[in-house]
Chains A and B, each alone.
Chain A
Amino acid sequence: MLSFIGRSIIQKIITLFFVSVVSFLIIHLAPGKPSQVDPMNPKFTPEMVERFRLEFHLDKPLHTQYLYFYRDLFTGKTVSWKDNQSVLKKIWERFLNSLPLFIVGTILTWTLSFPIGIRSAIFRGGFYDRSTTFLAYLLISIPGFFFAYILIIFVVTHFHVPVIGMETFGLGASSWIRVAMDRVWHLLIPSILGATGGIAVLSRYVRSQMLEVEGQDYVRTARAKGLPPDQVHYKHALRNALLPFVTMFGLILPGLIGGSVIIESIFSWPGMGRMAYEAILARDYPVILTVNFVSAVLVLAGTFISDLLYLVVDPRIRL
């Protein structure tokens, strides 16, 4: 057990190292220069450009730049080129903004998908199954921003209430509950938009897993025993179908930092995805690289956790 943990941690660190090298190379070898070093701005003289290059170590060879960058990152000193703010602080701020969206989305996804998926597995081929299949794929297939715009326009023109951003501006001195509820309202549409895709995918997955399990002997036995159908499906079958979801649950961790660029841009939600997108536009290398690094760490941590969960949950796996 311990040796498994040790081995997998070492393996993940090596992977992380390669990820850091690859992302560093991708960004630094691409054409285009950071926007602060903007030679087109008439106010930038060549000397200024040169000075910026010195300031950001852009004149150093790549491997030195690499070392500098990761040294700064691990000592928490990385600053954004755009505004000199600490990158880790920025990421933390954005993370807190993305968190409510993530939590609501995750709760909706990981609860609703199961009853929907199980029901359509039970009535396989029936009307319910076919209509949920159709609906699920409809939701997966719709371009996200198209859907978002339709929803926004519908709500604004019919209900005349603001939906963009994290809160209504200009509320003034309202009671706390009003302010809180206002924030909840602004959470509604983006989180539902975020959850629909998740529900569609996950419910399909639940369905197929349940189908695998429903044919097994022990389920048939349970049914033959005369147990109520709900108990058969939700206790005997679901428990055994759950195993693969343990892996998936570990993989939602990166969603914490991923965020959806498109949804966040449309709703001007100041989350992670938007920060990363703006950093790409501004060629703010430290932010891009740090976001990349942190999300790689989360992916690896997620897989690690799901490996561990497997060990705990599945009695057949012993190391």
Chain B
Amino acid sequence: MTVKRILILAPLLVLVFLLQSYLWVPTYEQQTRGNPDRLNEFIAASIGDASLLNPILTADTASSQIEGMVFEGLIDRDENLYFRGRLASSWDVYEEAYFYVNDAASIPGRGKMPGEEIVDLLIRAKHENDLPDPGLKDALRNIMEVSAIPPREFEVFRSEKIPGELKEKRRIKINIKAPARIKLRLTSVDQDLFRHLTKILGANYFASFRGEQYISTEPDVSGVRLAEYAGELVPATENNPVLVFHLRPNVRFHDGHVFDANDVKFTFDAIMNPKNLSPRIADYEPVKTVEVIDPLTVRIVYKRLYSPAIGTWGMGILPEHILNHEALKKEAGRLGKDPDKFGMRQSTFNRHPVGCGPFVFQDWKSDQYITLKWFDGYWEGPPNYKRYMFRIIPDLLTQEMEFYAGTIDSYGVQPHQVNRLKTDPRFQCFSGASFGYTYIGYNMRRAPFDNPEVRKALGMAIDVDKIIDYVLYSQGEKITGPFVKQTDYYNHGIKPVPYDPAGALRLLAKAGWKPNKEGWLQKDGKKLQFTLITNSGNDLRKAILAIAQDAWRQIGIDVRTDLLEWSVFLQERVDKADFDALILGWSMGIEPDLYQIWHSSQTRPHQLNFVGFKNKEADELIIKIRQEYDREKQVKYCHILHEIIAREQPYTFLYVSKWTAVLDKRIVIRETDDKGNVVYKKITPTKTGNYNFYFNKWIKLRDAPDFSADG
């Protein structure tokens, strides 16, 4: 019967056809042996796909990983996390400081002085040798030039919301009749300059300056707004740090176009363009101007002292010739889109990026892979790998299986697997601490968390070592404060809170919490009871939630727990500061700027200091740190701030987790020494634990090399 035969034979044939394909697929060994191309190719895997490949439009890790290879910034960080020149060969930092001549204030011993006389006074003071105050002496020595700017008049326009109306805005014309101004050029940035100058000009010289009297508005605005405009337009003093980058000559984009200072300025303008909705716009807000001095020099003037701003120039530089206004207009025409609505976000550039990094973009299949090819015109010499593949595999277990099958070259190991994979002869293992910590945060607006002793006691009840040993499988380190542990900002002298439930009970008893008959802690007839929350979908936090609940129950605290979906967790609980205690993690930048998370001005809803940490001393230090350009001083301030935070315990700092990555053992570093010989070296992580710092020198060999001879 034909029907029956077809119904049985057809699927069998299909199955046989499917099964025979097994014979064509390379096994782990065949992949490298039978196929020399495979050795020139590096395959990485990621859980998520990139969103866009344009460094100014994205902030997610997958995108950044690719962008880091295709684009190049002006600077980056070297092995020790100091800045290192990339597209910029060198840079200078100096300062231009200004202050208005205060007609009303009289200078001690000299009375009122016009601008020119103040200039003379300062120059004379600079050359005076026997100044009593060493700080003032240094500050004056730091001044390179003093000049007076004559008074000037100008007008600006602002639009502001009309009070009482929701959407309507009005335009305000502001006339400014600015008085004479003194300009100081400093050889290095000095945040204390004006404080020192008061010793010459009088304690109130700057404080008594009233900007309001020099401005008038049409229509009239009330006192507070006027003072705000005055503070902005006629500030008594102004610090303008200046950053000058000297660019590397003859660097080319992947399409052969030569890179120059205009590209830097263009990248900055693109970020600031509101049409592009760049998530990085806040980083560049302190920039006042970016000027192209000549094709290889860019001068960046900042509005105020803000030292972390230098790091933002690690941002990948966009090619102006592809993305400028005319080019976008042409592209819109080609695609048949409305040129007025067509911006950088709509451009196909975001899926076919062109940069001047070591790898050239080749191909992107959404949710499958992104391929890059080496850039043989790379200024530092092309990388060893000819191809870089970025695969997207959403499931960790299958990622692992692909690693075993040899179609991924590196695999980010989960903590519990470290011991098994470390001993595997096929692989080499690297590990290091990550730039982020996990903590339990307490809502300090609520009792009993308003008492630092209670917070400390809660921390003492939790055995962090136990969490690290058993939950993280020892893949973590204790942390005592909010700085990156590998940097020198971190104060290693601070002892972590000890695990001591009995001590915790003593501290709680001191705060008035005593055990009742059933063993629960009680104060004024009220049980010590609160809810600990975290977001769902994070196994580690879930485990810590269970452990913390258990640990606190042991000492008689009735803790409820709740897991919330991420967006609900943020919007309903964190943003509205509607929680008792929560488990969260921060990932940190290397810069020691703690303003957003720890400054007392950031405690309102939707801001990041949601625990409500307020400490005057800490506030001052936080401001000082972000204004300080001298690294040694910064380190000093950071250590003090670290101490304050460790004393106050607004968080129970738990741990920084360690990452571990395994690589195929056949991957090594290949270098050419001075004589032109090829040298192979074992891959070793840098001091800060970055194992792929020399990625461009990596290569895969046919057989695993034996490095035992040279240790």
Contact = CB atoms under 8 A, between A and B. Distances in A.
The short answer to whether A and B are in direct contact, CB under 8 Å, is: yes
Interface of A: 31-33, 35, 39-46, 48, 51-52, 55, 82-85, 90, 93, 104, 107-108, 111-112, 114-115, 149, 152-153, 156-157, 159-166, 168-174, 177-178, 181-182, 184-185, 187-188, 191-192, 228, 230-231, 234-235, 238, 265-268, 270, 274-275, 278, 283
A192 B135 CA distance: 79
A230 B4 contact: yes
A275 B367 contact: yes
A188 B21 contact: yes
A276 B369 CA distance: 18
Interface string B521-554: 0000000000000000000000000000000000
Contacts of A267: 398
Interface in B373-409: 389, 391-395, 397-398, 401-402, 404-408
Contact of B14 (A52, A104, A230): A104
A31 B401 contact: no
> Which of B283, B346, B407 has its CB near the most chain A CB atoms (within 10 A)?
B407
Contact of A187 (B18, B51, B346, B350): B18
A160 B28 contact: yes
Given A31-B572, A32-B567, A152-B401, 8 more contacts: A39-B606, A51-B274, A170-B31, A178-B24, A181-B20, A266-B395, A268-B395, A275-B367
A161 to B, nearest CB: 5
Contacts of A115: 4, 7-8
A51 B405 contact: no
Chain B, interface SS category? helix
Given A32-B567, A84-B350, A185-B24, A235 B3 contact: yes
Contacts of A83: 51-52, 350-351
A274 B394 contact: yes
B513 to A, nearest CB: 33
Contact of B35 (A41, A44, A45, A174): A174
> Which of B7, B350, B389, B570 has its CB near the most chain A CB atoms (within 10 A)?
B7
B281 interface: yes
5 contacts: A42-B282, A42-B596, A85-B351, A170-B31, A184-B18
Contact of B43 (A31, A169, A185, A228): A169
A184 B14 CA distance: 11
B59 interface: yes
A188 B277 contact: no
Interface string B46-61: 0001011000000100
A52 B278 CA distance: 11
A111 to B, nearest CB: 4
A104 B1 CA distance: 24
B644 to A, nearest CB: 22
Interface in B1-59: 1, 3-4, 6-8, 10-11, 14-15, 17-29, 31, 35-38, 41, 43, 49, 51-52, 59
B280 interface: yes
A204 B25 CA distance: 36
Closest 3 CB pairs of A and B: A172-B37, A181-B24, A32-B567
Interface of B: 1, 3-4, 6-8, 10-11, 14-15, 17-29, 31, 35-38, 41, 43, 49, 51-52, 59, 274, 277, 279-283, 345-346, 350-351, 365-369, 389, 391-395, 397-398, 401-402, 404-408, 565, 567-568, 570-572, 574-575, 596, 606, 608
Contacts of A171: 26, 35, 38
Given A39-B606, A162-B25, A32 B571 contact: yes
Contacts of B23: 181
Given A39-B570, A169-B369, A48 B281 contact: yes
A187 B17 CA distance: 11
B274 A170 contact: no
A43 B596 CA distance: 10
Given A39-B575, A265-B394, A162 B406 contact: yes
A41 to B, nearest CB: 7
Contacts of B27: 159-161
Given A84-B52, A165-B391, A278 B367 contact: yes
Contacts of B14: 104, 107-108
Contact of B277 (A48, A149, A157): A48
A268 B392 contact: yes
Nearest to A282: B51
A114 B11 CA distance: 11
Contacts of A182: 21, 24-25
Contacts of B18: 104, 184-185, 187-188, 191-192
A234 B8 CA distance: 12
Given A32-B565, A104-B18, A112-B11, A156 B404 contact: yes
Given A84-B346, A168-B26, A171-B26, A111 B570 contact: no
B1 A228 contact: yes
A156 B405 contact: yes
A39 B31 CA distance: 46
Nearest to B345: A84
B300 to A, nearest CB: 20
A184 B16 CA distance: 11
Given A108-B14, A108-B15, A185-B24, A163 B405 contact: yes
B395 A43 contact: no
Contact of A31 (B25, B367, B405, B571): B571
Given A160-B405, A275-B367, A172 B571 contact: no
A160 B29 contact: yes
Contact of B367 (A112, A160, A270): A270
Contact of A40 (B15, B405, B407, B570): B570
A46 B7 contact: no
B280 A82 contact: no
Contacts of B368: 165-166, 268, 270
B350 A163 contact: no
B59 to A, nearest CB: 6
A148 to B, nearest CB: 9
Contacts of B567: 31-33, 35, 283
Contacts of B10: 107, 111
A170 B24 contact: no
A122 B22 CA distance: 36
Contacts of A168: 25-26, 31, 407
B35 to A, nearest CB: 5
A67 B587 CA distance: 41
A184 B408 CA distance: 20
Contacts of B8: 111-112, 115
B389 A114 contact: no
Contacts of A152: 398, 401
Contacts of A228: 1
B433 to A, nearest CB: 22
A238 B365 CA distance: 45
Nearest to B586: A42
A170 B1 contact: no
Contacts of B41: 170, 172
Nearest to A148: B398
A11 to B, nearest CB: 36
A151 to B, nearest CB: 11
Contacts of B24: 177-178, 181-182, 185
B574 A40 contact: yes
Contact of A265 (B391, B395, B407): B395
Contacts of A55: 277
B395 A169 contact: no
A164 B281 CA distance: 39
Given A159-B22, A172-B41, A174-B35, A164 B280 contact: no
Contacts of B19: 188
A85 to B, nearest CB: 8
A268 B402 CA distance: 11
A149 to B, nearest CB: 7
A231 B2 CA distance: 9
Contacts of A31: 567-568, 571-572
B4 A184 contact: no
